[in-house]
Structure 1
Amino acid sequence: MTIKAIHHIAILTDEYERSKAFYTEVLGFKILAETYRESRKSYKLDLAINGQYQIELFSFPEFKERASFPEQKGLRHLAFAVDNIEESVGELLAKGVDVQGIRTDELTNKKFCFFYDPNGQPLELYEV
């Protein structure tokens, strides 16, 4: 088997409109398709990052909360590459997003910081 790339990341939300606004208006992802599936009472929103299909945002009427603290097994966070972390953090703060302080990765000497989506999903900005 030869894996070529990550095809997409699926995120489940209980507040669809709020999450849709966050990923499109705050983070600037482009909507590729939005589908309402009546049989599931669920939305599926396909989003592109920098022209590539990468995020699927789902809403489901019945969901279970996922524990994040203390650290749990599974997906820890989702990191987005940025050119200038100070500028990117400034944009998030201007849009009312609570952002943790900028830190430096001790292994790579690259700057990074964490913030959360409306569902509490940990997200990271990582300066490349």
Structure 2
Amino acid sequence: MKYLMAVIDALVGFVQRNPLTVLVILILALGAPALLKGIALFILYFIMGFVLLLVAGVLLFRWRIYRMRKEMEERFGEGFGGAAGGFDPRGFGARQRPPKQEREGEVKVYRTSDAPEKRVSEKVGDYVDFEETRE
């Protein structure tokens, strides 16, 4: 009973907020029911089309995520999905290496490319000798 009262209250509220719209709908319903049916069908099809686009978008998004997950598993190994089907926070399964013991403060520099350093011609700009000072 409360549900029916809530629906009636909502309809009364709509009529109070939109009296001109309700009047136009009533005139169309009495004077040209075929036109009102056409408008109602257009609104129905519009809403159904919007819902179908939304569902298609969700399905497309899920398919894209699934495809990206498969590509990541192929690229990084099966440890990404794990045996339980979840992410393994410790690493990538069998490829994980034990951590090496490093001394505190030790710095290692690795060369990442065999490309020679780029050098700028001496004709470009002036060299400014500077010295860092603490204030």
TM-score, structure 1 length as denominator? 0.19
Considering Cα pairs closer than 8 Å and 6+ residues apart, tell me whether 1 or 2 has the greater RCO: 1
Structure number with the higher helix fraction is: 2
TM-score, structure 2 length as denominator? 0.18
Bigger radius of gyration among the two: 2
Structure number with the higher strand fraction is: 1
